[in-house]
Structure formats: structure tokens, C-alpha cells
Chain A
């Protein structure tokens, strides 16, 4: 055939068809650079569920690298744990830090000897896929992890729309997913998502501790206005908030919704302040949003306390500016405090040694993977079904914040929440100040 232009297309198609299968499997041998353990034998310990084609195992070209006698006695297998993080897009500023925290955990865990089940040693490997801060990206990343890499444990997204999108892939394929957060919508997490667990404290969990502290430190505080992103959560969060406020004798003025894509959040803050509340409450969002809102609130003349959920106080101070960072309370660690648990102190040391700096978000990323490994160890199996059954029966679970409990049945209809003690940290006059540990009630 000498009609070259048309044949070029043909050739490209044929070449791609041949290259596709080998293209993906050859990436499995590229291990993360931060692990100190040398290249492992990339044997997939999990097989795809029966629904997918059985020749998947055959079509993935086994490009193995032989491991020198690096592991201790028996040849160690690798347990791949998927990670859905946004490496591009508006959420990437904070979610990349989550991934860094997870990589820290991977190094630490493998150095501690990894996982041992029935005499077989496993090293873990975090396989991250970019969810691009969009629902499409999360679904595509989940597709890649679950259907291409055959991964059966995924440490999942943070934001609700990404959780819902990736759930359409992980749930039908019975992949155990550990989400980092939830905004109380039933589509994200609930009785319909039996394979999803939540390993950090979430929107609903912080309401009581915050209100308790409000009454303790600000006895004259009566009215609260809430600022929440328009992400589907408010219809579910508002009734709970209202009820708890009434129980505590406080008044909820209103829920003001702001858009995740807004340029300037000042008009929304102004609307919130128009009802003259004694305190502001920020539910959900990243430091780029919360910091802007704190800055706007202070610049509009609001001097009352501002309460938040899980944000990193240091990043918020970066965005809001030192002069605006005052009377702000959040549930995240204070790096300099001596009241941190020994595990957190170890993370701080590791982070400084590996990255040269520490971010509170590293702990937030470390904790869910640590909880997952606890559950796997307790179940003594790498089958997600077994781990799921064991985990939901567990009453307590060790976390880096202290002893956590499993709960959530009454609120979400499913017993898959990890409730751990949370650190109340404040920004006072531009300084990050430790307040205390708070016990988070079971949802």
C-alpha cells in the first residue's frame, strides 16, 4: 500500500492497540522515589472481581524486577493502596500535601516491618492518581486505579462531588474506600455505599465540640451565622446544627452559602455579618477559601470569634494574613505544642527529616492510611470483604490522635465512621496557639 497518508492512521491505530496493554503495566514497576526500600517484586496480590474479564491478569505484561535480598526473610509482596488526590486544579494546593503525608506513612510503615499476615510479609505502596479537582477527573482516576491497576483499597477523595463520582466506580467493584471527609450528603456516604469508610472527623462531628467551647470561653455568645459552600451538604447539616444549637441554648441565625468558584468571597461574608452574629462558623472548604473569608470578616470590622472544622491553621494564617488571624478556632494539630501525641511528634520529626518542613495537613493525610492498615491487620487478610466486615465490627481503633471509636450508625445508617479525639487549635494575634484535646462524640 503506497497511499501513505491513510496508512499512517492505520499504523497509528494498530501500534496503539499493541502499546496500550504494555503501556499501563510497565508503569507499575516505577516505585515512588521517597520510599527507601529498593524495588519490590510488583506482584499483584489482588485479582479483579469476577465481573470483569478473566484475561486481565494475562494481558498485563508482567514486567517484574527481581528484588535483591532486600526484604528480611521471605520474599515480600507489595500491597498497593490507591490514593485519589487532586494534583492539578483548585484543590491541589492542599491535596498535594495530603499525598505527601501518605507517602511519609508508606516509608515509615515499611521501615517498621510492613504488614505481616500469616507469615507473608507485605510492603505497602501508595499509588496516586490525579483527580484534577473535578468529578470527571475523580471518576477517571478511580477507573484507572480500580480497573487498570486492579487495586482493592483506595484512600479516597475529600470533597463531596469527587467522593460521589469515584463511588460509581469503587462501590460496584467492591473496592474498600477510605474517604477523608464527608459533607453529610447521603449520596457520598451512607447505607448505599457499604464499601466506604470515613477516617477523619467530619462536618457533623465538630458541631458539638465547637459549641461546648463557645459556651466555655465566650459565655455571652448567643447567635451564630454559618458560612458553608454550596456543595449539597447544607440541607443535611442545617437541621443537625439547628438542633444542637437549641440544645446548647444558642441561636442559629442562618446558613449563608458561597460558591466554590467565586472570585471574591467578601459579599458572602458581608451577607453573613448583616445579621450581626456573635460568632461566625465556617463549614467546609479549603484554606484558600477559609483564609479569604477570615480576612474579609476582619476587614469588614467583625471582631467576634470564628470557628472552623478541620482546617490547617498555618495555611489559613498564610492566606488571611497575620494581622487578620485572630480569634479563629480550628480542629487541627499545633505543631509546636508539647501536648501532641507521641505518634504526631514522630510524624513531625519524619517530615522535617524527609521534606525539610512540616505541614499540619501531613497528619490529616497520614491518619486515614494508618487506620486502614490497622483494620487490615485486625482482619489478618487483604481481601476487602473480610477487612470491611472486621472493620465495621471493631469498637475501637488506634489513631495518631489517640484511641478512636467506630460509629455512625444512627446518623448515616452505617457504622463506618472513625471518631478520634481532635485537637482544638486557635489563631490568636497571628500566633498558632494550642487550646486542648476535645473528645468528638460518636455521630
Chain B
């Protein structure tokens, strides 16, 4: 019966309105969460999830141009450490340093982006993997600035004081941080979404499908790839800087090899084809281990189980559950012939 319901084929207009309606409802729910949920612990989980959603969406932006970067957490680290050091050592206000951190991350991406355009596809992934680990170790080496294992004492966001209208303190106030990060995330996602559906986004997709054909039409492949990397790293650095001023302490291992791979995994399990895939994937993988924390050392089994189920039953990612007119759940009994799949 569920299958029948899923096969309902409605007109395009109705589906579009349904999508908009659902979007608005979800948005409303997100804004109302702190009203319903009072325990700061749950707000903490949501804040972390939203921060990682920004990072994974920016990773997808980079991946749009055919470069799957397995070292993306390192750019989050650059933004985080830059913002933290600027705020802590130089006393700048976090509202400014968050933006500066993102800019530093983008500059770094620009610096290494051009040499990296020499390598494509799989080789780019490998080079980015090593680059990510190198950046993390570089952070450890620069202990004078970053503190060997942790950069502590990062100031939280300064309070917003507009006399007469609003006064918000951020110290130890999870709800304030939640709204802040939610607004930032919505702005970032809106920007990335519009970028993806703009001419630049189309150019990226063209490059990723065939860089030779794209070059033959006059597209400067390296410029667009560096642009993708820069945009992706800007938002990753932004999210990292927000993380720094929320968490108040930074450790290099948060941004190392395994976290980078997990970011790619969140994106893949969520679904590479859709913009909302990474959002879904990240939300599931950040929220589920926290919700099921009571399983103590058995919790990773649940995460592994989800990964196995998704990879077998939903080849295009979890977001394919919402696709229309596509085979939803693939049959696992068919004998698989050797074939080239996208």
C-alpha cells in the first residue's frame, strides 16, 4: 500500500507548492525549537549539526566542479584557528574575526588552488587528503600560536546591544547561539543554492562532466575550479570560526583525517545528486549518535548499520527516498552484471 501511495504522480505545480509548503513548515519548526525544547543539551546537538551542515554543503559545492576534497575539515580548521587566534591574541571582536577567519580560509584555498588544478578527479582527492593531514600537523607545529594540543580561552561572541531594541548575551546561552547559527546557516545555504543554480553552477557541472568539452567551449577550467574551491572553503572556514567561538576550545584532532573522511561520507550517504542530500546526511549522522549516546560503546554499531543499510538499499543516498519516478529501493537479489555506473 505504501508503494501505491509513493507512485502517485501529481502535476508539477502541485508538487512545487507542496515543496514550498513543507519548506516553510520545516523552517518554522527550526525557529521554534528553542521554544519547545528547553534542555540546553539538545540545543547543543542542533548547533553542532547545523555547523556541520554548513561544512558539508560547502564540500558539495566544491564537489560540484568534479573535485571531491577529502581534506575539507582542514579548511574548517584554518577558519577556526584564524578566528580564535585573532580574537584571543589580538582582542578583536568575534563578530569580525568570524568573517576574517572565513576570509583567511578562502585565501589559503586560493593559494593552493591553482597548483592543485593540475590534478583531477581521483588524484585531486588524494592530494587533498594529504593536504588536509599536512595542514592539521602544521597547526600542531605552530604551537606558539595554536597551543600544542588545544587552543583554549577563545572568547565567546560578544553580546549584541542595541539599546532599546534588543539585548542578547551569548555567554553560556545556548539558545542565543542556536538562533545565530541558524540564521548564518540559512544565509549560507541560500547563497550556495543560488550559486549552484546559477550560470556559475552550470559551468561547474559542465567541468565535472567533461573538462575537455568544457575547455573546448571556452570555459577556463582552472579558474572555475579555483573559484569552487575558494567558495567552498570560505563557507567551511565560516562554519569553523562559528564553531570556535561556540566551543571555546580547539583541538587539531577535531579536524584531522578521520573527520575529513566522515564529512565526505555524510555527503555520500546523504546523496550527492541533490542539494539537500548533505543536509539530510549530516543531520542523521550528527544527531543519531548523540540521541543514542546511552548505548555507550555500542553506539558506533548503529552508525555503521545505518551506513550499510543506506549503501545497499539506497544507492543514490538517503535523499533518494524523496525522489519521484525513481526506483526507490533497489532489489538486492538481482545478479549484478559488471557495469559502469556514474
Q: A: which residues have CB within 8 A of B?
A: 1-10, 13-14, 17, 20-21, 23-24, 27, 30, 51-53, 55-56, 59-60, 87-88, 92, 128-130, 134-136, 139-140, 143-144, 147-148, 160-161, 164-165, 167-168, 172-173, 187, 192, 230-232, 259, 261
Q: Tell me which of B18, B147, B150, B296 contacts A130 (CB under 8 A).
A: B296
Report chain A residues within 8 Å CB of B212.
Answer: none
Q: Are A3 and B42 in contact (CB under 8 A)?
A: no
Known: A27-B294, A172-B172. A8 touches B251 (CB 8 A): no
Stretch at the interface among B22-30, B102-110, B334-342: B22-30
Instruction: Give Cα A257–Cα B294 distance, bound, in whole angstroms.
Output: 37
Q: Mark B225-262 against chain A: 1 for CB-CB distance below 8 A, else 0.
A: 00000000000000000000001110101100000000
Between-chain CB contacts (< 8 Å), 8 pairs: A56-B39, A59-B37, A147-B41, A161-B253, A164-B152, A172-B171, A172-B172, A232-B149
Contact B293 A161 (CB under 8 A): no
Q: Is B315 an interface residue (CB 8 A)?
A: no
Chain B residues bordering chain A, tally (CB within 8 A): 53
Main SS of chain B's interface residues? Answer: helix
B291 within 8 A of A: yes
Question: Chain B 1-27 against A: per-residue CB contact (8 Å), 1 yes, 0 no?
Answer: 010011010100011001100100110
Q: How far is the CB of B133 from chain A (nearest CB, A)?
A: 10
Task: Give the chain B neighbours of A1 by CB distance below 8 A.
Answer: 18
| Other contacts beyond A134-B253, A148-B39, A164-B249: 19, CB < 8 A | A1-B18, A3-B10, A4-B8, A6-B22, A8-B321, A10-B26, A17-B36, A17-B37, A59-B38, A135-B150, A140-B44, A140-B290, A144-B290, A148-B42, A164-B150, A187-B152, A192-B153, A232-B143, A232-B150
- 0/1 string, B76-119, CB within 8 A of A gives 1: 00000000000000000000000000000000000000000000
Contact A21 B22 (CB under 8 A): no
A13 near B40 with CB under 8 A, answer no
Q: Which of B306-338 contact A (CB under 8 A)?
A: 321-324
Is A9 a contact partner of B149 (Cβ separation < 8 A)? Answer: no
Chain A interface, DSSP helix/strand/loop, else mixed: helix
User: Is B249 a contact of A135 with CB atoms below 8 Å?
Assistant: yes
Q: Is A232 a contact of B251 with CB atoms below 8 Å?
A: no
CB distance A168 to B39 under 8 Å?
Answer: no
| Cβ of B125 under 8 Å from chain A | no
A85 to B171, CA, bound (A): 27
- CB-based contact B149/A148 at 8 Å: no
- B-side contacts of A53, CB under 8 Å: 38-40
**Taking CB as reference atom, which chain B residue is nearest A166?**
B249
Contact status B172-A51, CB under 8 Å: yes
- Contact: B148 with A231, CB < 8 Å? yes
Chain A nearest CB, measured from B104 CB (Å) = 22
Q: How far is the CA of A230 from the CA of B137 in the complex (A)?
A: 12
Q: Are A87 and B29 in contact (CB under 8 A)?
A: no
Is B33 part of the contact surface with A, judged by Cβ < 8 Å? Answer: yes
Q: Is the CB of B321 within 8 A of A20?
A: no
Contact of A17 among B29, B147, B253 (CB under 8 A): B29
A161-B26 contact, Cβ under 8 Å, with A3-B10, A187-B147, A187-B153: no
Contact partners of A20 in chain B: CB under 8 A? 37, 42, 291
Q: How far is the CB of A186 from chain B (nearest CB, A)?
A: 9
Chain B residues closer than 8 Å to A88, beta-carbon distance: 297, 300
Question: Once the chains bind, are B299 and A130 in contact (CB under 8 Å)?
Answer: yes
Contact (Cβ within 8 A) A230 B254? no
B28-71 Cβ-contact flags toward A at 8 Å (1 or 0): 01000100111111101000100000000000000000000000
Give B158-179 as 1s and 0s: 1 = Cβ < 8 Å from A's Cβ atoms.
0000000000000111100000
Q: With A134-B251, A139-B249 in contact, is A5–B150 under 8 Å at CB?
A: no
- Complex alpha-carbon distance, A173 and B42, angstroms: 16
B324 and chain A: residue at smallest CB distance = A5
**A240–B323 Cα gap in the complex (Å)?**
65
Does residue B120 face the partner (Cβ distance < 8 Å to A)?
no
Once A140-B290, A232-B148 are accepted as A-B contacts, the answer to whether A21 and B140 lie under 8 Å apart by CB is no
Residues from chain A with Cβ under 8 Å of B253 in the complex: 134-135, 161, 261
Q: What CA separation (Å) do A4 and B152 show in the bound complex?
A: 48
Report the separation of the CA atoms of residues A14 and B36 in the bound assembly, to the nearest whole angstrom: 11
Q: Are A4 and B5 in contact, with the CB atoms below 8 A?
A: yes
Beyond A5-B6, A10-B22, is A230–B148 a contact (Cβ under 8 Å)?
yes
Q: How far apart sit A167 and B150, CA to CA, in the bound complex (Å)?
A: 12
Residues on the B chain within 8 Å of A135, using CB: 150, 249, 251, 253-254
Complex: A136 Cα to B323 Cα, angstroms: 35
Complex contacts, A14 vs chain B, CB 8 Å: 29
Taking a contact as CB atoms under 8 Å apart, the answer to whether B291 and A168 are in contact is no
From known contacts A3-B15, A20-B42, A52-B40, infer whether A168 and B148 are also in contact, taking CB-CB under 8 Å. Answer: no
